[in-house]
Amino acid sequence: MSRKKQVTIIAAVAAVVIVILCMLGIFRVYHQYSTLSSSSQNNTQEDQYVEFEGNLLQYGKDGALYKKFDGTTLWSQSYEMQQPLCIRKGGYLCIADQGGNSVLLFNKAGLVMQTETTQQVIQAAVSENGTVALILEGDSDYTVQLLDKSGETTAKGNAHLDETGFPVSAAVSSTGQQLAVSYLDVMSGELSTKVTFYDFGTSESNANHVVSTDTYSGEAVPRLEYMDNGSLVAFGSRNIRIYNHAEKPSVSKTIKLDNEIKSIFCNGKKFGIVYLNGASGGSSSGDASEGAYEMKVYSAAGRLAFTTDFDLDYKDIRFLDNGQACILGSKSFSIVSCFGRARYTGELDEPLYGVFYGGSSRTYYLVCQDKVDRIRLE
pLDDT digits (tens, 9 = 90+) for 209-260: 899 999 999 999 999 999 999 999 999 999 999 999 988 999 999 999 988 9
Strand ranges in 227-324 using DSSP code E only, listed in sequence order? 232-235, 239-243, 251-256, 261-266, 270-276, 293-299, 304-310, 316-319
- pLDDT at residue number 160: 80
- pLDDT at residue number 5: 67
- pLDDT at residue number 282: 39
- pLDDT at residue number 240: 98
- pLDDT at residue number 201: 80
Q: Within a 10 A sphere around the Cβ of 229, how many other Cβ atoms?
A: 14
- Answering whether pTM is above 0.85, one says yes
Q: Are 273 and 263 in contact (CB under 8 A)?
A: yes
Q: Are 166 and 159 in contact (CB under 8 A)?
A: yes
Reported as half-sphere exposure (CB side, CA atoms, 13 A), residue 254 has a value of 8
Q: Which domain holds residue 339?
A: 3-377
In 3D space, the residue among 100, 101, 110 whose CA is nearest the CA of residue 64 turns out to be 110
- pLDDT at residue number 18: 46
Q: Domain tally for the chain?
A: 1
User: Which of the residues in the chain have pLDDT under 50?
Assistant: 17-24, 203, 279-289
- pLDDT at residue number 60: 97
- pLDDT at residue number 283: 39
CATH of the domain at 40: 2.130.10.10
Element counts in the chain: helices (H) and strands (E): 1, 32
- pLDDT at residue number 112: 98
Q: Are 255 and 264 in contact (CB under 8 A)?
A: no
DSSP letter, residue 56: E
| CA dist., res. 349 & res. 190, Å (int) | 50
CA angle 86, 232, 202 (to 5 degrees): 105
